[in-house]
Every structure is written in C-alpha cells, then in structure tokens.
Copies of this chain bind each other. A is one copy, B any other.
Amino acid sequence: MKKALSIDIGGTKICYAIIDENGEYLTAPQKVSTPKSAEEIFSLLSSLASEYDEQIDAVAMATAGAVNRDNTRVVSSTPNLPSGYNALDFSKISSKKVFVENDANAAAWAEYKLGAAKGCDYSIVVTLGTGIGSGVINNGALIRGKSGAAVECGSMKIFADKRQKCTCGRYDCWEAYASGTGLRRCVQSMALSEPEFSTSMFKDKNIEDLTTYDVIDGVRADDAFCKKVFAQWLEYLYVGVVNLVDIFDPQCIVLSGGMGEFIDVEQLENRVNAEIVVQPVKIRLAKMKNNAGMIGAALLALK
C-alpha cells in the first residue's frame, strides 16, 4: 500500500498527515501556523518531508492558487500567502515524488473518488466559503486548462453592467454574490432597501454589523426579512449553478463548505433541472468533511 505525506497549505494553518492510496489516514492530521515568509514555508515543508521520508512514497500538497502543468509550483498570485510563495519549486522539498494541486481541484478529486460524487466521471465541486472555489471532473480527469488555472468559476460574472465590485477588484464575480461574503453583502444591502427589515429581529442592529450568521439565525427563527435575504442569495447561487450545468453537463454538482447545510438541496436540484438545456443533474452536499483537499492531493499523488 503506497503512502503520501499530504500537506494542505492555507493562509493561517498548514495541515498534514500520512495518507494511503485508499485515502485513509495513517497518522492523525496535525496543524502548524503558516510561517510569515516564503523561505520559512519552504524550510518547514522540507523538514516535514525529511522527517517522514522513510515512511512515504510521495509528498502531496493542496494549495491555494493555480498550479502549473507539471504540478510542482504555483503560477498565480495567492493573496493569503506571503510574497515569493509562487517562486517556490516544491519538487525540491523531497527526493521523493512531489505532487502539488490546487486545493479546490484536490477537494473535487476527493469527492469524486470517495465522496458525494463517487462514480461520477462528470462532476463539479463548488465550495461556498469566504469566496467560491471549484473543481471540475470531466471524463474522469480534472479540467486544468493550459496553465493549470482553469475552472475559476467564482470569477464568473453574473451581471454584465458593473453592478457590484468584488473584493478582487473586478465586477460582478459570482463569489461577490453567492459566497458567505456575498450573503453578508446581501443582508446589509437589503436592510436598506426592504421594508421587512423594520420588523425583523435584527432591526435594532447596526446595518454594517449584520452578518451571514444573523441571516441563518433569522431563517431558523422564521424572520421574514432574513428569509427574503436568504431567498435572494439562493437566487444568485442558482444562476451560477445553472450556468455551470449548461457549460459542463455534469452528472452531479457537490456543494461544499459551511453554507451548504442551510440549502434545501432537493428544491435547488428541482429548480435547476427545470431550467437547464442539458440532461438532468443531481445536486448533493459534500461528504468529505475537513481536509478533503489533503485527501484528494494524496490520492492524486499516489495515482
């Protein structure tokens, strides 16, 4: 049974474990704080690789950013990681095979091999968090594009009239509307425009302090304003999902991330299937909980 040291590199934490080719943990996942410089990250990864060298067949990494065609380095800027990060050649951290993949792609691979998209050679994972990440399996392989940067679906524009600026500086990215951040924007903007706010359980709160969690709490408490906000947010999610289904014609779309549990997936699936021009799709919640990226990267590295 082949084994990889798999490392998930985030802006605040680096998480790692030894994982076998079936995706099983052989060591409990451990976390360390992400060092502040690219050089220190490289040193940390090298020392981890050297520590586990005799137990492993490969080093796998899941990281933010677009990964090059050789799966050895990051080619795009990665705002949450230190400058110089995308100059690092990760193939040099170990004498063993090193395989790097974008974290959303790695998560999509994990859901495809072991999770909610198991058996679906055509599937999409959409991660709803601060932003929107995505990975697409087409004919049993990840879509990576000419430079490894493909399926930046969070950047898909869902308005064509420069309606709302995204945190990335561009306009009308899907993730500016349908991410967790998008839900916060939605509640703050609708608090100003919707009469229902005046009778909402949050009517006395400062508008700029309204959060994603307030909306969720309000929906649970049957608050009319919060239900209206959430319905609008779902509409934004719906439009992007319809686009991805018409573009990729997948067997299933997996929704991942903290927001997923608040979505009526069956209702969303019915609406999407009534709208698309391709054949019906299944919509499911992710099965792989935390560390999907770490597991997917290990499976890819040991493939």
Contacts and interface: CB of A to CB of B under 8 A. Distances in A.
Interface of A: 66, 75-76, 121-122, 138-139, 141, 143-153, 155-161, 168, 170, 177, 235-236, 239, 242-243, 246-251, 275-279
Contacts of A139: 141, 144
Interface of A is mostly: loop
Contacts of A121: 146
A193 to B, nearest CB: 13
Given A275-B170, A277-B152, A157 B247 contact: no
A161 B232 CA distance: 10
A6 to B, nearest CB: 25
Nearest to A249: B145
A279 B147 contact: yes
A248 B160 contact: no
B160 A235 contact: yes
Instruction: Name, among A158, A159, A160, A239, the residue most crowded by chain B CB atoms within 10 Å (CB to CB).
Output: A160
A247 B160 contact: no
Contacts of A157: 158, 239, 242-243
A121 B143 CA distance: 12
B278 A147 contact: yes
B158 A158 contact: yes
Contact of A143 (B138, B146, B158, B239): B138
Nearest to A138: B143
